[in-house]
Structure 1
Amino acid sequence: MAELRVDHQPARERYEAFLEDGGVEKSVGYIDYMTEPGTLVLTHTVVHDQFSGRGFAGQLAKSVLDDVRANGKQFVPVCSYIQSYVEKHPEYAALVREQH
């Protein structure tokens, strides 16, 4: 499986995934979030149509959640894709912040 490069863009509140294709880097998709103290609210996951069905959403989600963990933060999975990803990967469940 091709290796994605994930770029965190805090000013845009976005993690964007890129793939080198024939020497050209192309955007595969992104996860948008909103920032709360100590928490990222993950709102939307997009993988562009030409890249769908190749496991890139899972690679992107893993990269984002690993970054959340590495930075000592929590997340709120508003996005349905992230919710289902956490159900399939319970090692991230401890990072979920309960909504009040």
Structure 2
Amino acid sequence: MKTEFEAIPLVKNENKKRFEIEIDGHFAFINYGEREHQIALVHTETEPELAGTGAAVAVVEKTLEYIKKSGKKLLPFCPYVFAYIKKHPEWKAIVDEKFGGYDQL
């Protein structure tokens, strides 16, 4: 992640069911669903003002770190998150082995 995003806190917005970071009044976020032992990441998005800034990567990395610390397993339904994990296989350790695309990571 770019250094300018490191100090920006990740917010788990339970009302909107998304993990988010805010940069200059604009958001990068990942919609999620949660169960007792799993967190499903469904869709990653950045507001147009953040396109090409690296904000999407930052929110993904911060969210994966949150899931790792929580001890829950990840269900990466979001294609962006799935592709990120394929490029960074060290994150496969937090993916639930029962996830349908597990063998493709």
TM-score, normalised to structure 1's length?
0.85
User: Contact 1:8–1:14 at 8 Å: present in 2 too?
Assistant: yes
Equivalent in the alignment of 1:99 = 99
Distance in 2 (alpha carbons) for counterparts of 1:68 and 1:29: 17
**Unmatched 5+ stretches in structure 1:** none
Aligned partner letter, 2:12? H
Distance in 2 (alpha carbons) for counterparts of 1:36 and 1:99: 14
Aligned partner letter, 1:15? F
What is the Cα deviation at residue 72 of structure 1?
0.5
How many residue pairs match? The answer is 95
User: Contact 1:45–1:81 at 8 Å: present in 2 too?
Assistant: yes
Distance in 1 (alpha carbons) for counterparts of 2:30 and 2:94: 17
Distance in 2 (alpha carbons) for counterparts of 1:71 and 1:35: 12
Q: Any residues of structure 2 matched to 1:1-100 within 5 Å, and which?
A: 1=2, 2-3=4-5, 4-19=8-23, 21=24, 26-97=25-96, 98-99=98-99
What is the Cα deviation at residue 84 of structure 1?
0.5
Is the partner of 2:44 in helix, strand or coil? strand
Aligned partner letter, 2:43? H
TM-score, normalised to structure 2's length?
0.82
Identity, % of aligned pairs?
A: 25
Structure 1 or 2: more strand by fraction: 1
Deviation beyond 4 Å, 4+ runs, structure 1? none
What is the Cα deviation at residue 13 of structure 1?
2.0
Is the partner of 1:68 in helix, strand or coil? helix
Let me know the Cα RMSD of the aligned residues: 1.5
